């Protein structure tokens, strides 16, 4: 039946030659018959029978949904299309144009679980999204792309929670770009939720805790390989190449996971890190202790709830936070409250440091304090021995120069540590104007996704 879809799409979307009336009538009749067959036999099912895979360490598929290019375009139409601003429409069509004049792949969007560890190091099944191309009866040979999502406050908006049937505007932008990658590039894309997100509702998210996020991501890559290597999967087969990319927290996670994969001796063909908070004890600590307001106050509750979860002795709420923040921040930063609520409990001035006790501010400034040392070892460019990690993987560091949430200092710090290493490429993106009502950080995201996808596409050639 997928062959019928393939033929119908080829005739209806891509045949641009004018036809004589007789030929046109024949094709109209043919397409009518094919359409009836397709409608009767290929209706979407939110819970179809899962594709059989080798389950020894691979994905456990919870839900699968088949999407064609019209479905993906329907999602795209939810997003604003401003002719004067680079937005998700531009990113989508740039990916399409780069892929060339091809018939888009059918894609499958799958909520999956895989074996990893929780915040305490215990075995757990974490969730994520697995999106792959389908050109039945041919098996698609594809790289694995780990698309690591950016900062997300609520568990219900982690990638695995995406549903074509429950789609909300702007909630799953990275999923939209992943679908474009699968449909036009023919890539198998995974999007890990990380600990404390998606289906992992019983624990906090370890925001910017390097090792936890690295393990969650590396383990999903491992499960993806086991799912589509050899001939285990019906529609796709791993071609032996692995790439990672991410923006914002996803940039941090991409860098952290690269270190973890190198430690495991897992080959990586390239990674793209974009606008990530790599420099916790420099650039980001300056943000926390600044006298200026910060545009997204919920960043700080997420950060310190994550660190309290993993390092409770160094980041005890009563020692860190003044009243009422020592009560309100852990109460509302659980992954179940929206940004308006969490930002609403922060100081009306927007100055982050006003939540801290005086003693804790002194602690954060003291390089020999336990809290500072803990932050330092979670810098993305530090290894487990608290020394500078020198990557061997081919890497792109991309950063917008006037990012207002993840300052450019994160980029300059990485560049100062790594310098002119032959495996590292640096791109300083020029300042942009924000989309009305949005931060510069959010406004530059579509451009970052397109540039990261373009860079990886070039590595696959």
179-201: average pLDDT: 98
Which carries the bigger pLDDT value, residue 167 or residue 389? Answer: 389
Determine, yes or no, domain membership for 322: yes
| Boundary-marking domain end, from 334, 353, 377 | 377
Separation of alpha carbons 62 and 129, rounded Å? 10
Distance separating alpha carbons of residues 416 and 419, to the nearest angstrom: 5
Is the pTM above the cut of 0.85?
A: yes
Q: Nearest 5 degrees, angle CA 293-CA 298-CA 302?
A: 130
pLDDT tens for 375-391 read: 999 999 999 999 999 99
Sign of the CA dihedral 369, 374, 375, 380? Answer: positive
Residues 271 and 322 in one domain: no
Q: Cis bond leading into 266, ω under 30°?
A: no
Q: pLDDT band at 55, cuts 50/70/90?
A: low
* Mean pLDDT of the 421-446 span: 96
Q: Same domain for 20 and 72?
A: no
- Nearest of 193, 79, 73, 199 to residue 130 by alpha carbon: 193
pLDDT band, residue 393 (cuts 50/70/90): very high
Q: What is the pLDDT of residues 146-162, one digit of tens each?
A: 999 999 999 999 999 99
pLDDT in tens, 112-138: 999 999 999 999 999 999 999 999 999
Q: What residue numbers bound the domain in which 428 lies?
A: 60-279+379-460
Same domain, 80 and 185: yes
- Shared domain for 371 and 385, answered yes or no, is no
Q: Which of 375, 371, 402, 207 is nearest to 298 (CA)?
A: 207
Q: Is residue 52 part of a domain?
A: no
In this model, does residue 29 exceed pLDDT 90? no
Judgement on whether residues 297 and 248 belong to the same structural domain of the protein? no
Which pLDDT score is estimated for 167?
A: 64
Domain-ending residue, one of 317, 351, 377: 377
Residue 230, in any domain of the structure: yes
Query: Given this model, what pLDDT does residue 110 score?
Result: 98
Domain's final residue, options 377, 411, 439: 377
pLDDT at 21 > cutoff 90: no
Sheet holding 188-192, edge to edge: 60-67, 106-117, 123-134, 188-192, 140-148, 236-247, 270-274, 395-400, 424-429
As a whole-number percent, the residues of the chain with pLDDT over 90 amount to 84
Distances (CA, A) of 381 to 69, 269, 311: 39, 19, 20
> How many domains is the chain partitioned into structurally?
3
Q: What is the pLDDT of residue 53?
A: 47
pLDDT of residue 1: 42
443 falls within a domain: yes
According to the model, what pLDDT value does residue 251 have? 98
Tell me: pLDDT of 44 over 50.
no
Indicate which CATH number applies to the domain containing 335: 1.10.260.160
Q: Mean pLDDT for the chain?
A: 90
Residue-wise pLDDT for 302-325, tens only, equals: 999 999 999 999 999 999 999 999
Q: SS3 of 169, please?
A: coil
Same domain membership, residue 317 and residue 456? no
Distance CA(145)–CA(206), nearest Å, equals: 23
Confidence of residue 190 (pLDDT cuts 50, 70, 90): very high
Residues 245 and 310 in one domain: no
Q: Is residue 402 part of a domain?
A: yes
Q: What is the mean pLDDT of residues 332-340?
A: 97
Residues making up the chain, counted from first to last: 461
pLDDT in tens, 253-311: 999 999 999 999 999 999 999 999 999 999 999 999 999 999 999 999 999 999 999 99
């Amino acid at each position: 039946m997928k062959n019928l879809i393939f033929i119908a799409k080829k005739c209806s979307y891509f045949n641009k030659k004018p036809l004589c009336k007789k030929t046109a009538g024949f094709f109209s009749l043919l397409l009518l018959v094919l359409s009836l067959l397709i409608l009767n036999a290929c209706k979407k099912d939110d819970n179809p029978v899962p594709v059989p895979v080798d389950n020894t360490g691979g994905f456990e598929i919870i839900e699968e949904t088949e999407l064609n290019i019209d479905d993906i375009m329907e999602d795209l139409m939810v997003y604003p299309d401003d002719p004067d601003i680079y937005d998700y429409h531009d990113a989508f069509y740039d990916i399409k144009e780069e892929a060339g004049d091809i018939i888009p792949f059918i894609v499958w969007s799958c909520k999956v679980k895989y074996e990893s560890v929780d915040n305490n190091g215990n075995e757990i099944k974490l969730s994520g999204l697995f999106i792959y191309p389908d050109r039945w009866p041919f098996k698609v040979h594809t790289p694995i792309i780990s698309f690591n999502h950016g900062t997300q406050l609520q568990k219900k908006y982690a990638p695995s929670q995406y549903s074509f049937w429950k789609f909300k505007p702007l909630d799953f932008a990275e999923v939209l770009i992943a679908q474009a990658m699968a449909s036009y590039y023919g890539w198998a894309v995974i999007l890990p939720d990380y600990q404390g997100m998606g289906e992992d509702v019983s624990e906090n998210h370890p925001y910017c805790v390097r090792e936890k996020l690295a393990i969650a991501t590396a383990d999903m890559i491992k499960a993806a390989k086991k799912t589509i290597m050899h001939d285990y999967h019906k529609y796709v087969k791993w071609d032996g190449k692995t790439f990672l990319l991410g923006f914002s927290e996803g940039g941090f996670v991409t860098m952290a996971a690269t270190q973890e994969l190198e430690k495991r001796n897992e080959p990586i063909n390239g990674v793209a890190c974009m606008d990530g908070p790599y420099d916790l004890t420099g650039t980001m600590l300056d943000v926390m202790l600044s006298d200026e307001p910060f545009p997204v106050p919920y960043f700080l509750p997420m950060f310190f709830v994550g660190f309290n979860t993993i390092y409770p002795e160094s980041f005890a709420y009563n020692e860190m936070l003044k009243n009422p923040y020592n009560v309100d921040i852990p109460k509302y930063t659980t992954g179940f409250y929206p940004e308006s609520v969490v930002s609403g409990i922060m100081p009306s001035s927007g100055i982050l440091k006003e939540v801290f006790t005086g003693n804790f501010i002194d602690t954060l400034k003291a390089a020999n304090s336990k809290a500072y040392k803990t932050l330092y070892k979670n810098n993305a460019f530090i290894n487990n021995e608290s020394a500078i990690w020198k990557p061997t993987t081919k890497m792109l560091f991309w950063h917008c120069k006037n990012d207002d949430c993840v300052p450019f200092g994160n980029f300059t710090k990485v560049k100062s540590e790594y310098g002119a290493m032959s495996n590292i490429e640096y791109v300083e993106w020029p300042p942009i104007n924000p989309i009305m009502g949005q931060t510069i950080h959010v406004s530059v995201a579509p451009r970052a996704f397109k540039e990261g996808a373009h860079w990886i596409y070039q590595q696959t050639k």
